[in-house]
């Protein structure tokens, strides 16, 4: 029966904040319970014979369950005194004449006190169990939060010169030990990259300085057993004992995160910003050259010509951006620069070539050259006549890349009277961008433009496919 009662005791546990053990409310409850028990005993007196303490035992049990051993023991003492003074004959006196009543009184006092002590101990056991459960649940929530944030925790004991951490911290530092198993500080120092060791030691010294300690916040590299290098970020605080000259750090706790991915992204962003700056300067130089050359050659239609050339440059940029600056497919570039003649592609304009990807520099120069060729063909060349045709071919022969623009069945071609910007773009700029040679032939049958260069100078090799959203 006692075992069954002990099992069910947690379900009877009551926690009332104002009546918790040690509070004024707890001892007030002891007085109230003894008073109520006395009043009830007097009410039922005519009907109860030989059970002088029938209402006092429940009062002691209830008081102990609610307010602990201290209040329960006080209730037992008060109940003993109340039974002696108000219940046992002669009433209104502490003098008990009947030996049987004296025996009952002497038995009730110790028994009620023992009952209070037993229930009080059970109550404390329940409280400890609940506290342990709450602590365990709190640790579980904390670990869940750390796991969600991909953080590991560690603690360094300065007196033992040993550190321990959770599974994630051990994984980050590449320690093949169980969770909460100690690792010598020397083993941790060995993991720190030599280039960062001095900086890490200086940061730790600042944290452990008893006169002016500061929180630890540091990023550094570690070397794993397989030779790989990882970036980690540490945050920590030191615990100190004593005050004044005797103050010293005893432990050091914190978190660790693997930030290698973030560092790689930052490095890519840094390189990207440098690349954007470099390309922007190049682009402004090209725009400046286009503006000056266009104005110098034909100032009367500067706005129209300048706008067309900037639009051609923008088309090249759009293709490069779509491919994340990993080059442009040659056919895509050709079709972009022939956008005004899209209806003629496949009929009067023949496009032939293998699947080759031009690098960014060559795509810009060749794109501008194609724009000039297409513009001139539409105004003066093969595309200005109803029967004129244009063949555009490209390909590789060993280590050589070639690309040609051939006009036929149009008006006879004639060389320019002066070397304008269009000729500079078609010839000098294209040659310079790929380190190659451009042949311009103004034949009676039509203009022929042919670019020849080393394939390595013009083409993008092993380029990743562009992402598509």
The pair of structure tokens assigned to 332 is 């895509």
Name which of 382, 373, 400 is nearest 456 in CA terms. Answer: 400
Give the per-residue pLDDT at 464. 44
Give the per-residue pLDDT at 230. 93
The pair of structure tokens assigned to 45 is 């007196």
- How far is it, in rounded angstroms, from Cα 293 to Cα 305? 11
CB–CB of 94/102 below 8 Å? no
Give the per-residue pLDDT at 279. 55
In the chain the first and final C-alpha atoms are separated, in Å, by: 72
Give the per-residue pLDDT at 310. 66
Report DSSP letters for 319-342, one per residue: HHHHTTTS-EEHHHHHHHHTGGGG
CB–CB of 389/382 below 8 Å? yes
Neighbours of 286 (CB within 10 A): 19
- How far is it, in rounded angstroms, from Cα 327 to Cα 457? 12
For residue 93, report the phi and psi dihedrals to the nearest 5 degrees.
-155, 145
Q: Which residues pair with 352 in a beta bridge?
A: 393
Up-side HSE of residue 114: CA atoms within 13 Å toward CB? Answer: 6
Per-residue pLDDT of the chain (469 residues), as tens digits, is 445 555 555 566 677 888 888 899 999 999 999 999 988 888 887 776 667 788 888 899 889 888 888 999 999 999 888 888 887 777 777 777 777 777 877 888 888 888 889 888 888 888 888 888 888 888 888 878 888 888 899 999 888 888 888 889 999 998 988 887 888 888 888 899 999 999 999 999 899 888 888 899 999 999 998 889 999 999 999 988 887 777 888 889 999 999 999 998 888 888 767 756 655 655 555 566 556 555 555 665 666 666 666 666 666 566 656 655 567 888 988 888 887 787 888 888 999 999 998 988 888 888 888 888 888 888 888 888 888 899 999 999 999 999 999 998 888 887 776 666 677 778 888 888 889 999 988 888 889 999 999 999 999 875 444 443 3
Strand order in the sheet with 216-223: 183-184, 162-165, 151-157, 248-258, 229-241, 216-223
Give the per-residue pLDDT at 196. 93
Full set of structural domains in the chain with CATH: 2-144 (no CATH), 151-258 (3.30.450.20), 291-458 (3.30.565.10)
232-238 long-range contacts, CB within 8 A, separation 24+ = 232/172, 232/173, 232/256, 232/257, 232/258, 232/259, 233/257, 233/259, 236/154, 236/207, 237/207, 238/207, 238/208, 238/213
- pTM recorded for the entire structure: 0.49
The pair of structure tokens assigned to 287 is 């725009």
């Amino acid at each position: 029966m006692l075992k069954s009662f002990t099992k069910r005791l947690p379900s009877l546990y009551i926690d009332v904040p104002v009546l918790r053990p040690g509070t004024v409310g707890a001892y007030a409850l002891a007085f109230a319970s003894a008073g109520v028990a006395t009043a009830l005993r007097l009410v039922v007196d005519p009907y109860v014979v030989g059970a002088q303490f029938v209402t006092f035992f429940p009062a002691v049990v209830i008081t102990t369950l609610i307010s602990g051993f201290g209040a329960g023991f006080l209730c037992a003492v008060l109940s003993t005194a109340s039974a002696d003074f108000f219940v046992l004959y002669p009433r209104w006196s502490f003098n008990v004449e009947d030996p049987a009543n004296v025996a009952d009184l002497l038995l009730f006092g110790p028994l009620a006190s023992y009952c209070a002590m037993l229930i009080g101990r059970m109550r404390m056991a329940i409280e400890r169990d609940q506290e342990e459960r709450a602590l365990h649940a709190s640790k579980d929530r904390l670990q869940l939060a750390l796991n969600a944030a991909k953080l590991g925790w560690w603690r360094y004991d300065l007196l033992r010169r040993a550190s321990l951490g959770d599974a994630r911290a051990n994984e980050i530092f590449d320690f093949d030990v169980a969770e909460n198993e100690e690792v010598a500080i020397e083993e941790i120092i060995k993991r720190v990259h030599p280039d960062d060791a001095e900086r890490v030691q200086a940061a730790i010294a600042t944290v452990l300085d008893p006169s002016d300690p500061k929180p630890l916040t540091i990023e550094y590299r570690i070397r794993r057993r397989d030779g790989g290098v990882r970036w980690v970020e540490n945050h920590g605080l030191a615990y100190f004992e004593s005050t004044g000259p005797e103050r010293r750090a005893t432990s050091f706790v914190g978190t660790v995160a693997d930030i290698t991915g973030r560092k790689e992204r930052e490095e890519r962003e840094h390189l990207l910003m440098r690349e954007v700056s470099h390309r922007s300067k190049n682009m402004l130089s090209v725009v400046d050259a286009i503006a000056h050359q266009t104005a110098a050659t034909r100032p009367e239609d500067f706005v129209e010509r300048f706008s067309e050339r900037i639009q051609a440059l923008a088309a090249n940029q759009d293709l490069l951006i779509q491919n994340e600056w990993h080059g442009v497919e040659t056919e895509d570039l050709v079709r972009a620069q022939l956008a005004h003649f899209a209806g003629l592609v496949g009929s009067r304009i023949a496009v032939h070539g293998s699947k080759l990807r031009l690098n960014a520099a060559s795509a810009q120069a060749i794109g501008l050259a194609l724009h000039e060729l297409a513009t001139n063909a539409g105004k003066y060349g093969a595309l200005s006549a109803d029967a004129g045709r244009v063949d555009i071919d490209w390909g590789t022969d060993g280590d050589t890349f070639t690309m040609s623009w051939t006009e036929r069945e149009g008006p006879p071609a004639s060389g320019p009277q002066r070397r304008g910007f269009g000729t500079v773009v078609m010839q000098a700029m294209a040659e310079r961008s790929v380190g190659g040679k451009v042949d311009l032939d103004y034949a009676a049958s039509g203009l022929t433009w042919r670019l020849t260069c080393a394939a390595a100078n013009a083409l993008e090799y092993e380029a990743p496919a562009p992402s598509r959203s």
